[in-house]
Amino acid sequence: MADLAELGEAELIAQLSFFAPANQFNDDAALLGLDQKLQRVISTDALVEGVHFSNATTPGFSVGWRAAAANLSDLAAMGCLEVEGITVALAAPGHTSMPWIKEVYQGLSALLKNHGGLLLGGDCSQAPVVMLAITAIGKVAGDRLIRRGDGKAGDHLVISGPHGLSALGLKLLQDPNDPSLLQLDESIRHKAIKAHQLPEPRFDAVAALHRSKPADMPWRVAGTDSSDGLRRSLELIGNACGHQPILAEPFELVEGCCLNSGLDGGEDFQLVLALESPWAKKFVEQLPGAQWIGWLGENPGPPCWANTKKPLLPGNSFEHFNRT
């Protein structure tokens, strides 16, 4: 009989989607329709000690911040401009120190405060390892949504910022004396560690999307966030739209990041969007750090490079379930 390690996360989610309404699991978060004008968006994410963080690389403040940021990023990926609040299910061993727990809550409060959200409630349980399961809730106008499947052939692909920084930051924290990293500029080191420990949900990129929309164009935005890596985001958009994401090569990677960590490192929490070309152009002009990376092709297909048409090869893609 199949176990989770054999199935993998994507197949697990596909099988669990049969318990939900059709297409319910197709986006970054779920919609609770109020009316056409206002929708509530709800998203859940868990962080597990030893899987998503370790005490060696993540202080308590950062554990709380990142747990909240991962959820808020899902709200941004649906088109929310801010968060209303979060609930937190905390599970921890009895020997966990209260000062550490307070640091965790200081981290998530600091992030929430930056984006106008409240700690609404939660639950505390004993468990053999620390787990933080957070549910975030936000509002979005029903006609200003970002959906993975709303892209069309010829749409331009843009990203709200660099990929690979978070993975580089983790590497620097795990092995600061790695010879391959010694050449790195101090400012890149600092940025990379910050990207890993204190990632920002890109509500500002959603605001830039609103600002840059050409007045004569209807709202139509395909997109997701890059929590599981840029390659995975492109796959999700490509599959949902039925159009192959085609990447112009080479697009700029952060200094010190290898191509694999740029494509598969994950946890950069950037927005990956498909827009009509005039809108894409204005978006990149208006948002510092945003980049044009390619377009959606005519036909379905996996993300590929424009010149060779070869699919982007999976590198160290983050897989949630394994037996080690």
Site for a second copy in 50-79 (CB under 8 A): 50-52
Q: Determine, following the binding rule CB under 8 A, whether residue 114 of this chain makes contact with a second copy.
A: no
CB of 146 within 8 A of CB of 223?
A: yes
Work out how close the CB of 80 gets to a second copy at its nearest, in angstroms, rounded to a whole number.
Answer: 14
**Residue ranges in 175-214 that form contacts with a second copy under rule CB under 8 A:** none
Secondary structure (DSSP) of 226-266: -TT-HHHHHHHHHHHHTS-EEE-SSPP--TT--HHHHHH--
**Residue ranges in 290-319 that form contacts with a second copy under rule CB under 8 A:** none
**Residue ranges in 264-293 that form contacts with a second copy under rule CB under 8 A:** none
Q: Determine, following the binding rule CB under 8 A, whether residue 84 of this chain makes contact with a second copy.
A: yes
Q: Determine, following the binding rule CB under 8 A, whether residue 225 of this chain makes contact with a second copy.
A: no
Work out how close the CB of 246 gets to a second copy at its nearest, in angstroms, rounded to a whole number.
Answer: 30
Q: Determine, following the binding rule CB under 8 A, whether residue 14 of this chain makes contact with a second copy.
A: no
Q: Determine, following the binding rule CB under 8 A, whether residue 137 of this chain makes contact with a second copy.
A: yes
Strands, sheet with 156-159, edge to edge from the N-terminal-most edge strand: 146-147, 221-225, 271-275, 156-159, 291-296, 245-247, 304-305
The residue among 312, 313, 277, 281 whose CA lies nearest residue 295 is 277
Q: Name the token pair of 127.
A: 């468990």
Q: Determine, following the binding rule CB under 8 A, whether residue 46 of this chain makes contact with a second copy.
A: yes
Residue 214 per-residue DSSP state: -
Measured from the CB atom, the residue of 80 and 137 that comes closer to a second copy is 137
Position among 118, 153, 217, 313 found at the interface with a second copy (CB under 8 A) = 118
Work out how close the CB of 209 gets to a second copy at its nearest, in angstroms, rounded to a whole number.
Answer: 23
Distance CA 76, CA 88 (A): 19
Q: Determine, following the binding rule CB under 8 A, whether residue 32 of this chain makes contact with a second copy.
A: yes
CA–CA distances in Å: residue 73 to residues 98, 102, 145, 269: 28, 23, 14, 6
Position among 59, 85, 278, 315 found at the interface with a second copy (CB under 8 A) = 85
